[in-house]
A and B are shown apart, each in its own frame.
Chain A
Amino acid sequence: DQQVKQNSPSLSVQEGRISILNCDYTNSMFDYFLWYKKYPAEGPTFLISISSIKDKNEDGRFTVFLNKSAKHLSLHIVPSQPGDSAVYFCAASEGNDMRFGAGTRLTVKP
């Protein structure tokens, strides 16, 4: 029972363009949403988060959008850089319970 789903296993974009990573969830009780970034042979690192009371949070090139009615969130990276190439995990939490999606591998081509 995957409560957090990332339906695109991979995404390839050109350097300088926008990357949009998507995530859907099923549990309406989730109240905090996060994105983690993972490079090979390293642990995930926290990237950006958003509370359920907001619909947008921006941090430099990274913006997370939350659509609660659709149970959908997305991560926008503008402009994309080759160093952004990594696996991105979406996560959602309720209390002490945090669930992760399966990840999307982003490749940014020079």
Chain B
Amino acid sequence: NAGVTQTPKFRVLKTGQSMTLLCAQDMNHEYMYWYRQDPGMGLRLIHYSVGEGTTAKGEVPDGYNVSRLKKQNFLLGLESAAPSQTSVYFCASSSSLTWSEAFFGQGTRLTVV
């Protein structure tokens, strides 16, 4: 049982480059989230989805886009990376009944130089 899997685990980007982070869950969860974790800031919600084909903005959505074409996948895109997007990104999923008790992936450490 893989749970929540994030790809890649590490990445270094140059300013202005684009990339997509992939999150996959095998628990048939309706809800999926993308968070970023920065020192002294805790986890901040970027975007989330309450079902296939739906997405919504979280606390810090600027500079990111997301898509949920399939229930099990939630993609996070950076169209033009900036050094301020250097962070650790976590994907999470949860059922609609206990939505806040989320299962997290291992994280993706992204450095933008």
Contacts and interface: CB of A to CB of B under 8 A. Distances in A.
A12 B58 CA distance: 34
A43 B104 contact: yes
Contact of B100 (A4, A43, A98): A98
Interface in A80-106: 89, 91, 93, 96-103
Contacts, number: 55
Interface string B12-53: 000000000000000000000001000011111100101000
B106 interface: yes
Given A34-B100, A46-B102, A89 B42 contact: yes
Interface of A: 2, 4, 6, 32, 34, 36, 41-46, 49, 89, 91, 93, 96-103
